[in-house]
Structure 1
């Protein structure tokens, strides 16, 4: 899931705004308004005369993205300011705000699911590294015996070969044998 400018703004305001007084939130709103105007002016300037690739710093922010982020932060700080005024809070506590808390829970649920899927994927990859995939060419008589064993056991021929390999024993002299077993 890709975070939009609004998502980044919500997260940033929740982290940076926790514990701020109403005055601190007012200052954050004012700063966001100034930054929004500045980045919008930079964006407009970049649209009028786009920089050539050679002139651009390799890790410079995209002016359009930066303008979007500050506009979203300004909106989010306004939302927090209105919430504090309507609720009569003296200090901003993100957990108390229903909208912000619901968003944070949704993001945390998504994050936990992503981490769970990632761990399962990594486990599958580890298991795959331990697997051996091989193509075996058998003589016609050996192939017929494997197919007959598979049909009797109700499994596929490749499962019979895998079970044979699982039960195979190497002797001290290097000989390989398979003790009697019933394919399943």
Structure 2
């Protein structure tokens, strides 16, 4: 049976993630409310504006339901802004936003806008552990992953800094894999979803 996945659809590049997953054969639901998590095996937190997504999550009452979804075995994948939402700590938030809301599930610190602003966006062939050819990574106002804990496996680095990590049933990347035609990271997430849930 094809996996049943969700994509957080409050803001950002959720449609692109949905398309990539559906092409790979997954059933995909757009998640906007806690009830939308029912029956899902995995959830993608897409790129976008992390402070905007965080505010919309608060309004929808999604923080605790997503934490409970993960605690019950649901896999989570955060890309760019989604990585920021997953991180234990967040640095570099504008002062007017105060402390960045987050799920605090990934044992690492996310530093916002670590590669510059929108005008500094770039695309680079990225060597990723387990892939036989470089991945065309698109960095747009990208964060970076700092101080990963002992349970965090670094799968890719750029400029000596971690940009793709895995921790149990969590996957997090600093770039936008949904903005390329290369589906290998979406395939990686599907394998993570299909893996046995630790007891």
Give the TM-score range, shorter chain.
under 0.3
Instruction: Return the TM-score normalized by structure 2.
Output: 0.22
TM-score normalised to the size of structure 1?
0.23
| Structure ranking higher in strand proportion | 2
Higher share in helix: 1
Query: Highest relative contact order (Cα 8 Å, sep 6+), 1 or 2?
Result: 1
